Structure formats: C-alpha cells, structure tokens
Amino acid sequence: MEKLHIRGNGPLNGEIRVSGAKNAALPILCASLLTADTLKLSNVPMLRDVSTTQKLLQGMGARVMTDNVHEVEITAAGINNLVAPYDLVKTMRASILVLGPTLARFGEATVSLPGGCAIGSRPIEQHIKGLVAMGAEVSIEHGYVKAQAKRLRGAKVVMDMVTVTGTENLLMAAVLAEGTTVLENAAREPEVTDLALCLNAMGAKISGIGSDRLVIEGVERLHGAEHAVMPDRIEAGTFLVAAAATRGHVVLRNAAPKSMEAVLDKLVETGAVVEAGDDWISLDMKRRPKAVNVRTLPYPAFPTDMQAQFMTLNAIADGAAMVTETIFENRFMHVPELNRMGANIETEGNTAVIKGVERLSGATVMATDLRASASLVIAGLVADGETIVDRIYHLDRGYEHIEKKLGAVGAHIERIS
C-alpha cells in the first residue's frame, strides 16, 4: 500500500497550479446522463473519484473519452443499465448523484444506498423527499434506492437542511421535469453554481443561481455543451494553509479567490499577508501563525472541508483557539493523530480546544478520510524529523499529485510503497 514520506523542512516557496474542483466535476460528470449529445469538459481534475465516476457512467453504457490531461468527453447515448452498483457507490458516496439525472431522463433509476462514512452517518432522505414531491415512487430494497416516474413534475421543495449533493440531485431531476420546480433552502456552494451554469449551457432554464432559492423551468430535452470545471477551492485552501504553517510564500494560479472568502479572511487573521486577483492568490507568512477560532457552516461561511487543515495550523499557532464542527458529527478523526505528533488538542462534543505548541514531532500516522489526511500532510511539513502518512488512498480521492505539487514548492515529500 502506498504512503507519503515527509521530512519537515522550512518554508514552502513558489507557484502552484490549482486543479479543477472535485466537488464540481463529480455532479457535472453525472449531468452528462441528461442528454444523448456529447458533454465536453475541461479542467477536470485527474482524481480517483473522477475515475470512479467515469467507471460508473461507462457501466451504465455511456461513452467516456479522456486524454488524461483534464479534458473529458461523455456521450450518454447508449445507456442500457440504470443501476449504480454497491461496489462503486461504497468507494464514493457522490455516486448518489446519478439518481436525479437517470430518473429524469429514463423514468427509472436504482442506486445503491451510500450509507455513512468516517465523518458521519450522511443520510439522503432530503434527496428522496424532493424526488417524491416531484411525483417519483421511491422504495428502498436490498440496500438500493429505487425510483420511478414516467415524467417528473415540477414542485416546490423546501429542504430541511442545506445539503450540497441533495440540491444537485434535485436540480438535475428538475431540469427535465414538466413544469416549474422551486428549491427553497438550496445549498449556495460554488460547486452547485458551477453545475447550474453547466446545465444552463446544456439548455436548462435555471434562475436564482447562487442563491438559496433555485427556480427551474423544466424543458423537454437538453443538448450537448462545453464547460470548464471551476477551480478547487478546498485544494487551494489546503496549499495556502500549508504555506502559512511553514511560514512560506506561495502564489496559486488558476484559483477562484471569490469562492473562498471565509478561508482567506481566516488566513489574514492568522497574520498572513494575502493578495488576490481574478484567478490568483498569493500568501506570505513571515511569523508564527496566530491561533484563530473556526466554526464550520454552509457556504458562504467557513467550509467543513477546510476544518482539519486549520486544526493543524492552530496546533502550531501562537495562542489557543476553538474549532467547532457543525456539519458532520464525526469529523475530528485527525485529532488523535495530531496529538500523537505532539499537538495539544482536547475535544468535547463538536468543539475542539487547541493550545498551540512550538513544534510537532514526526510520526507514522494515518487518517480515515480525505481532509484529515491533508491535515496530517501539513503537520508532517512542519514537524521535526520524518512523518509517514499511511492510507493515502483517501488523499488520492481528492488531491491530484499532492506530492508533486508540494514538492515543486520545496517540500521534502515522496510517495513510497
């Protein structure tokens, strides 16, 4: 099994190109199921979750062409299987995103229930509630959710909580429904916006994009389109935290600073000098970071997917801070591992109290989810001695060649077997 070997060594310096966003690419790849024409995508990150989605679409009969340099063309003309099997769904919860588009175009879809994962129980009752409101018959059988509807009807759906993939599934269902759908309390995450823009380029009629009230006028059919996936704000944030923790100076290219204001503001609070243009961000950290309180909430507030990375930053910061996780009930799996590296973190319910220490010490660590793994990589960059991060298949789900990108700005990091 592959691992990352890291030797803590001084500041990161240089430029990094940010990849396309995993959480935008996955729903957009699934949106290809809504038309028999070709969807041409660029800036697609080459990640394990992207190849899993491609496998899922191919298994349903779609033709997927990829040049492995971030361009992918999908043609869902020959769909002959409306089932998303357990084997694939268990490796990637986002597989649930085929439910809405498959049902909308083919009148039927069967998707393995994703179940929980390391960070929480992650139910999907809001996805189902919305589809039922649009006239679908939904049953749960043998671990699969099975939905049927000759043609979905527009409906008003008020979501009980902000759910990102729930909003995306219902958006993709509604674009081919008969009549108008209104999604209230919709997620405003930039990745939802990117999906909506791609759907409109395919001929959908969605308004209210970027707000928590999406209005979708259903159309008979969608057509092919070209779309560039937005830059990954979580990958970008991870590199900025790594630069701040090592007291370095990095410039990110192909970034989307407008989508990450809460994170940039927090970095400024730590004492970093942050500058940004339309598609670049620079961060210069000349001092020991100051501890900052963090509370995760839906967009535009601070994202849960950056919580673990900021925990590491606080672990070596000047002062004490509180980190509160309000989105997922079990997203502190990195804490015991950071403490093994010498951090001083105590948790009580959904709050962690972190007292900054002068230094961490390298150790063999492992994480059970993606961003927890990223937080351990950052810890390894600032720790004395050697750190080995085990189980990096989690990292490979969401970071494209993280060791190459960090290596290029001066980190001593390599992939070993």
Ligand X SMILES: CC(=O)N[C@H]1[C@@H](OP(=O)(O)OP(=O)(O)OC[C@H]2O[C@@H](n3ccc(=O)[nH]c3=O)[C@H](O)[C@@H]2O)O[C@H](CO)[C@@H](O)[C@@H]1O
Ligand Y SMILES: C=C(OP(=O)(O)O)C(=O)O
Task: Write out the catalytic residue numbers.
Answer: 117
Residue 43, annotated as binding a ligand:
no
Q: In 10 A of CB 1, how many CB atoms?
A: 7
Binding ligand X (rule: CB under 6 A), the pick from 44, 94, 240, 341 is 94
In the complex, minimum distance from the CB of residue 347 to ligand X, in angstroms, rounded to a whole number: 18
Q: How far apart are CA 93 and CA 274, in angstroms?
A: 34
Q: How far apart are CA 32 and CA 178, in angstroms?
A: 20
Comparing CB distances to ligand X, the nearer of 116 and 319 is 116
Comparing CB distances to ligand Y, the nearer of 37 and 191 is 191
Q: Which two tokens stand for residue 58?
A: 């191919």
Q: How far apart are CA 390 and CA 1, in angstroms?
A: 8
Residue 331, annotated as binding a ligand:
no
Examine residue 164 and tell whether it contacts ligand X (CB under 6 A).
yes
What are the angstrom distances between the C-alpha of 212 and each of 29, 327, 328?
Answer: 23, 17, 21
Examine residue 111 and tell whether it contacts ligand X (CB under 6 A).
no
Binding ligand Y (rule: CB under 6 A), the pick from 11, 12, 54, 93 is 93
Q: How far apart are CA 2 and CA 416, in angstroms?
A: 6
In the region spanning residues 367 to 386, those forming contacts with ligand Y, defined by CB under 6 A, are: 370-371
371 binds, among ligand X, ligand Y, none (CB under 5 to 8 A by kind): ligand Y
* DSSP letter for each residue of 169-237: HHHHHHTTSBSEEEEET----HHHHHHHHHHHHTT-EEESTTSSEEEEE--S----EEEEPPB-HHHHH
- The DSSP bridge pattern shows strands 3-7 and 320-324 to be unpaired
Examine residue 402 and tell whether it contacts ligand X (CB under 6 A).
no
Comparing CB distances to ligand X, the nearer of 341 and 395 is 395
Examine residue 398 and tell whether it contacts ligand Y (CB under 6 A).
yes
Binding ligand Y (rule: CB under 6 A), the pick from 94, 170, 252, 272 is 94
Residue 122, annotated as binding a ligand:
yes
Examine residue 127 and tell whether it contacts ligand X (CB under 6 A).
yes
Examine residue 328 and tell whether it contacts ligand X (CB under 6 A).
yes
In the region spanning residues 13 to 52, those forming contacts with ligand Y, defined by CB under 6 A, are: 23
Residues whose CB is less than 8 angstroms from the CB of residue 240 and which lie 6 or more positions away in sequence, other chains included? 250, 252, 263, 264, 267, 272, 274, 281, 283
Q: In 10 A of CB 330, how many CB atoms?
A: 16
Comparing CB distances to ligand Y, the nearer of 37 and 305 is 305
Under the rule (CB under 6 A), what is the footprint of ligand Y? 23, 93-94, 305, 370-371, 398
Under the rule (CB under 6 A), what is the footprint of ligand X? 23, 26, 94, 120, 122-127, 161, 163-166, 191, 304-305, 327-328
Q: Annotated binding site for UDP-N-acetyl-alpha-D-glucosamine, which residues?
A: 93, 122-126, 305, 327
